[in-house]
Structure 1
Amino acid sequence: MSYRIGIDVGGTHTDAVIMDNNRQLVSKIKVPTTEDIGSGIKRAIAGLLTQSELDPREIQFAMLGTTHCTNAIVERRNLAKIGVVRIGAPASLAIPPFLNWPKELLDKVFVGSHIISGGHEFDGRRIAPLDEAALREMAAEWKGKVAAVAITSIFSPVDSGDEQRAQEIFREILGDDIHYSLSSEIGSIGLIERENATILNAALVHVARLMVRGFEESLAENGIRGARIFLGQNDGTLMTSDYALRFPVLTIASGPTNSIRGAAYLTDAKGALVLDVGGTTTDIGVLVQGFPRESSLVAQIGGVRTNFRMPDLLSFGLGGGTRIRGEGDTLTVGPDSVGYLLPEKGLVFGGTDLTATDIAVAKGLTELGDRGKLGSLSPQLVESAYATMIDLVEEAIDKMKTTSDDIPAIVVGGGSIILPDQLTGVSEVIRPLHFEVANAIGVTIAEVSGQVEKIYSLEEWGRDQALEEAKRLAAGEAEAAGASADSVEIVDIEEVPLAYLPGNAVRIRVKAVGQLTI
């Protein structure tokens, strides 16, 4: 029998599981996340192998869900120097690239940006000839200075020819060691936000390499050398490590989606709220047909507006390690947390910080540490703090619901022990077996997906032909990401007529999902 190992790195804990090829849990572990991340992963892998007594050679697949890329953007660390070209003059000169970017982020990545002639209209008609001479001048200017190039063309989701040609020219001069990000492969309709997502993807090239290399080394040091490596995407599916090196931006927000997928697997639920409570924050998402609901809003990542796919999540500062201060009118709950230091700093463990876990123990919701160390807490403080915590949760639930009806809520994550078995607005609180490692389970059992979003002129294509083309492209993306061709199926189709464009235009988005190639 073969096995798969799945690891999810959170801000407080690194969770890991081993599952067999029937997707049954063999072993699970939770260790503190370390500052360098890698040593925490190594410790988790070693612990799993010790528990399970498996031969490392039996591990066939290794999956990683991580916050590396999100943290790199937020903290402005390990980002690559990049050159940016927009193809679309004279139609797009009014708004330059990097508009409204935070200065400290811009300073970390900027080498140069240019807007040149070229690009297409929504129906594929050319705006202007592609300025190949300008591309060659740019490449010569950036040689030896950039690690990546971000290429964006107007309406490239309709016709990506100019982006492809620009990449060919850059590759002739800059070589294959440079990373190339094309907007037609990353974002959706909307020039500036798609360009921003493409730039961020290019900026993450170093982070992606460090992330994949570090995971490979962690596995090898524990004797796992033949396993195929996959990384979690932010739609709750997987991609190969090679695919992740091309599109590292797709790992952003993958952590909460792993928990949502894990919740779906552990409960067989197709539709429900999912509350993922960690040591620092609570993330609320929504299951739709077993997958995370996708956000329809512009996503802000590190202060930058983007429009590539993101899960619809609401995060707020309540977790197992959330600090509670004051009492009465001065009582505050978070948003700061003791995080992975909870076993040292929480009152029930002999520390000096009052945390949400201490309140949960005082209320009798869970048994942890030494309850006798809470004797100095007044009943009024406990009740007031607990009521404030629950108000935060119930307010967030109301924001995420699209109906006034009560709906089920699945609570997962190690910090979910602070939540009660009843919540206003919820028909049933479901706490499944292995809830504390739902995120690691989610990335381990995930399938592989591909998604496309394009504008079609139905006068030119016809509806049936346009749909079939979009399905074919989505299936191809799933296979490129690591899915076996015979298992790929279309799971979501969205058609939006674009009344403001001539030619009976429609935006078609198709998502395909398949099983891992074995």
Structure 2
Amino acid sequence: MRLGIDVGRATTAAVLTDTAGRVVGRALADSAPTTAVSLRRALARLGPLPGTVRAVAVVCDLARRPLVPRRVAALRISPGCHPALGPFVGWPPEARAAVAGPYRTVDGGSSVTGRPLAALDRVATADFAHRARAAGVTAFAVCAAGAPTAHGPELEAAGIIADSVPDAALSLSYEIGSPGLRERENATVLNAALGGWAGELVQDCRRALRSAGIDAPLLFARDSGGLVSADYFRRHPVIATSPATPCAARGAAARTGSERAVVVDAGAGSVRCLTVVDGEPVRHERPYPGALGVRVQLRAPEVTEPAEGTADEIRAVVARLGERVPGAPVIRTGGGAEAFADTGAPESLFDAARHAARADCRAEIEHIVSAAGRAELDQLLDAARGHALSLAIAAGAAPATVRVRTLTHAPVAYLPAGVHRVTVQATGEPFTDVPS
């Protein structure tokens, strides 16, 4: 059996499914100020389990817990730039004040096609690491130009920092973001800043599960609605800061059998809207404000939150989104509904938890590759497939079940012939044979 738990502001929903994905138990409890107590309440309401739980998937937004972000030392590896384009520029003032530690740009990095621009300035990198440690900062974000294509400079810099700061917590941009330098750097800094939040959330969930006698692999919903293992989430929390609405939308679409829909998620304190196409939430294609309002490009689902949340405003948002999917139904999910005359189907309270209990593990990569001809491009595409499959396993998928779900590639119009943007998504069933 698999257990999905959706920790919301007002209520915490738990759904238990059997090996065929059928719901065999569910419970709803009032949420508590702490995640651990919220889980304990829902599990107590669920009652004695009819069998062994093989995996637990938790849905929890960043906004659900009080956040004290880490201060982060940001190292950019690239040619020099104008100060107006430096690290932390353009951040919301509160986010910058809370997160920004020492930062520096050092020589090195590669072009977008992987051509080396300069050797890494190892002396400057070591000096930066020592300066950050002296300032009491041990969380580092390393971002090199061209890293999604050639990540050697980031690995080299990480080795230098680890030698200089043995307890350093390192986030490397090639593991996280898109090819664009500034948005990728922002995502990497946020990832480093959220490490403490992720670690505490994992500990809280494990304590609550073990107190209920559940010793199963622990997974977390990522913003795309797929799952990642607790260890992967702890290393890459920036990909899982707002999964509740995408999970609820995918659960609502599955519940109603709608491959195309406008979904309205009415929560306790807000209403969020998005569109679903082919059973998947439509994603951002351009940079957007992510965690803490910082501009990123992680291709998370595009969620619209009406500012006032009035019925008229919600209807206007729904009508605008409906233009993207003409004729598609409007589906309600969640239990807030203050802005509506009805509260929707009772089953909608369990949409996110039910989806999490049935979801697969997912990993995605986006690379720029340069190939002289079709044979070389095919080799690079095979390498991208292998990379995505290995990431899916690292994210908690059972090796025997992983597969490439989608692979797209297209020439990059503004670069020389032979340069392609490659995107791969790999999925697999959660690994359930070892305890967490």
Q: TM-score, normalised by structure 1?
A: 0.78
Aligned residue among 362, 368, 378 for 1:455: 368
Code of the aligned partner of 1:30: L
Aligned residue among 244, 266, 274 for 1:285: 274
Aligned residue among 301, 304, 327 for 1:311: 301
What SS class does the counterpart of residue 44 from structure 2 fall into? helix
The whole-number CA distance in structure 1 between the counterparts of 2:408 and 2:21 is: 31
1:297 aligns with 2:286: yes
Match of 2:427 in 1: 513
Match of 2:37 in 1: 39
The whole-number CA distance in structure 2 between the counterparts of 1:92 and 1:187 is: 22
Q: TM-score, normalised by structure 2?
A: 0.91
Please tell me whether the aligned partners of residues 27 and 45 of structure 2 are also in contact (alpha carbons under 8 angstroms): yes
Match of 1:399 in 2: 320
Please tell me whether the aligned partners of residues 411 and 417 of structure 2 are also in contact (alpha carbons under 8 angstroms): no
State how 1:91-170 maps to structure 2 within 5 Å.
95-143=85-133, 145-170=136-161
Give, in angstroms, the shift of residue 193 of structure 1: 0.9
Match of 2:393 in 1: 479
Please tell me whether the aligned partners of residues 232 and 394 of structure 2 are also in contact (alpha carbons under 8 angstroms): yes
What SS class does the counterpart of residue 87 from structure 2 fall into? coil
Code of the aligned partner of 2:367: K
Please tell me whether the aligned partners of residues 314 and 400 of structure 1 are also in contact (alpha carbons under 8 angstroms): no
Please tell me whether the aligned partners of residues 93 and 115 of structure 1 are also in contact (alpha carbons under 8 angstroms): no
Larger radius of gyration: 1
Please tell me whether the aligned partners of residues 414 and 437 of structure 1 are also in contact (alpha carbons under 8 angstroms): no
Aligned residue among 198, 201, 213 for 2:203: 213
What SS class does the counterpart of residue 407 from structure 1 fall into? coil
What SS class does the counterpart of residue 414 from structure 1 fall into? coil
Aligned residue among 191, 214, 217 for 2:181: 191
Please tell me whether the aligned partners of residues 248 and 355 of structure 2 are also in contact (alpha carbons under 8 angstroms): yes
Give, in angstroms, the shift of residue 490 of structure 1: 2.2
1:256 aligns with 2:169: no
Please tell me whether the aligned partners of residues 267 and 432 of structure 1 are also in contact (alpha carbons under 8 angstroms): no
What SS class does the counterpart of residue 314 from structure 2 fall into? helix
Give, in angstroms, the shift of residue 416 of structure 1: 5.2
Please tell me whether the aligned partners of residues 28 and 45 of structure 2 are also in contact (alpha carbons under 8 angstroms): no
The whole-number CA distance in structure 2 between the counterparts of 1:94 and 1:397 is: 38
What SS class does the counterpart of residue 372 from structure 2 fall into? helix
The whole-number CA distance in structure 2 between the counterparts of 1:463 and 1:20 is: 43
TM-superposition CA deviations, 1:153-184 (whole Å, max 9, x none): 00111111101111111112222x43211111
Higher deviation after alignment, 398-407 or 98-107: 398-407
Identity %: 29
Match of 1:172 in 2: 163
Structure 2's unaligned 5+ residue stretches are: none
Match of 1:384 in 2: none
Instruction: Go from structure 1 to structure 2 and tell me whether the alpha carbon gap of 1:501 and 1:313 turns closer, same or farther (over 3 Å shift).
Output: same
Code of the aligned partner of 1:212: V
Code of the aligned partner of 2:355: G
- State the number of aligned residues: 428
1:276 aligns with 2:265: yes
State how 1:27-106 maps to structure 2 within 5 Å.
27-48=25-46, 50=47, 53-54=48-49, 58-67=52-61, 69-70=62-63, 77-90=67-80, 95-106=85-96
Match of 2:353 in 1: 440
The whole-number CA distance in structure 1 between the counterparts of 2:379 and 2:260 is: 32
Aligned residue among 459, 466, 475 for 2:380: 466
What SS class does the counterpart of residue 78 from structure 1 fall into? coil
The whole-number CA distance in structure 1 between the counterparts of 2:412 and 2:230 is: 36
Higher deviation after alignment, 233-242 or 281-290: 281-290
Please tell me whether the aligned partners of residues 35 and 201 of structure 2 are also in contact (alpha carbons under 8 angstroms): no
Superposition RMSD on alpha carbons, in Å? 2.3
The whole-number CA distance in structure 1 between the counterparts of 2:198 and 2:138 is: 13
Give, in angstroms, the shift of residue 304 of structure 1: 1.2
TM-superposition CA deviations, 1:21-67 (whole Å, max 9, x none): 2211122222222223332221111111x2xx226x72221111101
TM-superposition CA deviations, 1:195-215 (whole Å, max 9, x none): 001000000011011000000
Give, in angstroms, the shift of residue 142 of structure 1: 2.3
Please tell me whether the aligned partners of residues 261 and 446 of structure 1 are also in contact (alpha carbons under 8 angstroms): no
Code of the aligned partner of 1:464: D
The whole-number CA distance in structure 2 between the counterparts of 1:124 and 1:91 is: 19
The whole-number CA distance in structure 2 between the counterparts of 1:22 and 1:420 is: 36
The whole-number CA distance in structure 2 between the counterparts of 1:419 and 1:462 is: 56
Give, in angstroms, the shift of residue 125 of structure 1: 1.2
Higher deviation after alignment, 391-400 or 147-156: 391-400
Please tell me whether the aligned partners of residues 266 and 432 of structure 1 are also in contact (alpha carbons under 8 angstroms): no
What SS class does the counterpart of residue 58 from structure 1 fall into? coil
TM-superposition CA deviations, 1:421-449 (whole Å, max 9, x none): 9xxxxxxxxx7772221011111111011
TM-superposition CA deviations, 1:100-146 (whole Å, max 9, x none): 22232222223200100000012211111101111111222223622
The whole-number CA distance in structure 2 between the counterparts of 1:89 and 1:47 is: 58
1:233 aligns with 2:222: yes
Code of the aligned partner of 2:354: I
The whole-number CA distance in structure 1 between the counterparts of 2:260 and 2:380 is: 30
Higher deviation after alignment, 177-186 or 268-277: 268-277
Instruction: Go from structure 1 to structure 2 and tell me whether the alpha carbon gap of 1:486 and 1:150 turns closer, same or farther (over 3 Å shift).
Output: same
Match of 1:373 in 2: none
Give, in angstroms, the shift of residue 248 of structure 1: 0.5
Give, in angstroms, the shift of residue 71 of structure 1: 5.5
